[in-house]
């Protein structure tokens, strides 16, 4: 069977992306022409001062928000051309998110939390519970499956969030300050699992971070400056 493996078809491609927020006066031009190509297995750190538009960019890449201009291609599809119900299904399948806060459901166990995205839909042929147990094992939580979030450390909660983000084998794994609330050792452990699993599963990993230590571990680093992405040493 012929396979295509270009970024165009299987990774992430972003062209001249702009995002303005309307204000009473001039529109606030947050993104001013962002272009980016990442293949499966690539990992990029995005840095930049507070207010530079990092979260705005991640929200658009994750299809939670729409751009003002430009285009985004994820796994060969333009998500913004999809009608809303299909876009929701596309997002659920193709994008995993890890935020600074874990957003775990307090009444659910670790195993149930990791399974939440599969309640909506999952990839054909996958057995969600087996997958969840495997992922939770890979993030070091096999002994914690029945715990509630309140019975975990901050680092452990964030590792559940990583397993939840990966449950549907997303093309894109988007992380917004994933270690921002953690001590150094827990941050390192979360960085370890993000990098290892994203690479093993050939996801496109993007991590927005203020941590130079975390950014230094990623093969690519860029900075959002004046609404554009610049290479960072
Ligand atoms: P960062 O994540 O880099 O700190 P954000 O993407 O959150 O930056 O915000 C970029 C800029 O856009 C900020 O100046 C912020 O105030 C503004 N902004 C973010 N969201 C909105 C919104 N929904 N409406 C208007 N302005 C917004
Ligand atoms: Mg932000």
Residue 233 has pLDDT above 80, yes or no: no
Q: pLDDT tens digits for 155-177?
A: 999 999 999 999 999 999 999 99
pLDDT classification of 119: cutoffs 50, 70, 90: confident
User: How many whole angstroms from 58 Cα to the centroid of ligand 1?
Assistant: 11
Task: For residues 154 and 102, give the distance between their C-alpha atoms in angstroms, rounded to a whole number.
Answer: 9
Q: pLDDT tens digits for 44-96?
A: 999 999 999 999 999 999 999 999 999 999 999 999 999 999 999 999 999 99
The arithmetic mean of pLDDT across residues 136-153, rounded, is 97
User: How many whole angstroms from 174 Cα to the centroid of ligand 2?
Assistant: 12
Give me the domains of the chain, ranges plus CATH numbers. Answer: 8-231 (3.40.50.300)
> Which residue has its alpha carbon closest to ligand 1 atom 7?
55
pLDDT classification of 122: cutoffs 50, 70, 90: confident
Task: For residues 199 and 201, give the distance between their C-alpha atoms in angstroms, rounded to a whole number.
Answer: 5
Q: Which residue has the tokens 């290892």?
A: 196
Residue 123 has pLDDT above 90, yes or no: no
| Residues in Cβ contact with 16 at an 8 Å cutoff, skipping those fewer than 6 apart | 33, 34, 35, 69, 70, 71
pLDDT, position 124: 65
> Which residue has its alpha carbon closest to ligand 1 atom 13?
51
What's the N-to-C CA distance of the chain in angstroms? 40
From 29, 55, 67, the mutation candidate for ligand 1 (largest count of ligand atoms within 8 A of CB) is 55
| Residues in Cβ contact with 131 at an 8 Å cutoff, skipping those fewer than 6 apart | 167
- Phi, psi (deg, nearest 5) at residue 138: -70, -25
Task: For residues 57 and 65, give the distance between their C-alpha atoms in angstroms, rounded to a whole number.
Answer: 9
Q: Which residue has the tokens 């019975």?
A: 151
């Amino acid at each position: 069977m012929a396979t295509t493996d270009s970024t165009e078809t299987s990774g992430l491609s972003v062209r001249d992306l702009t995002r303005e927020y309307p204000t009473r006066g001039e529109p606030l031009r947050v993104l001013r022409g962002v272009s980016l190509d990442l293949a499966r297995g690539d990992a990029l750190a995005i840095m930049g001062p507070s207010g530079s538009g990092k979260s705005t960019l991640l929200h658009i890449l994750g299809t939670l928000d729409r751009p003002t201009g430009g285009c985004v291609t994820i796994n060969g599809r333009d998500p913004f051309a999809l009608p809303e119900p299909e876009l929701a299904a596309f997002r659920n399948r193709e994008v995993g998110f890890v935020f600074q806060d874990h957003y775990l459901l307090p009444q659910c166990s670790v195993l149930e939390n990791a399974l939440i995205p599969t309640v909506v839909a999952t990839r054909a042929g996958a057995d969600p519970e087996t997958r969840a147990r495997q992922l939770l094992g890979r993030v070091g939580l096999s002994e914690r499956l029945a715990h509630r979030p309140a019975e975990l450390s901050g680092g452990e909660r964030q590792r559940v969030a990583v397993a939840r983000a990966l449950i549907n084998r997303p093309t894109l794994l988007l992380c917004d300050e994933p270690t921002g609330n953690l001590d150094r050792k827990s941050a390192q452990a979360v960085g370890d699992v993000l990098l290892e699993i994203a690479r093993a599963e050939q996801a496109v990993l993007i991590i927005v971070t203020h941590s130079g230590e975390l950014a230094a571990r990623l093969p690519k680093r860029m900075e959002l400056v004046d609404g554009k992405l610049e290479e960072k040493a």
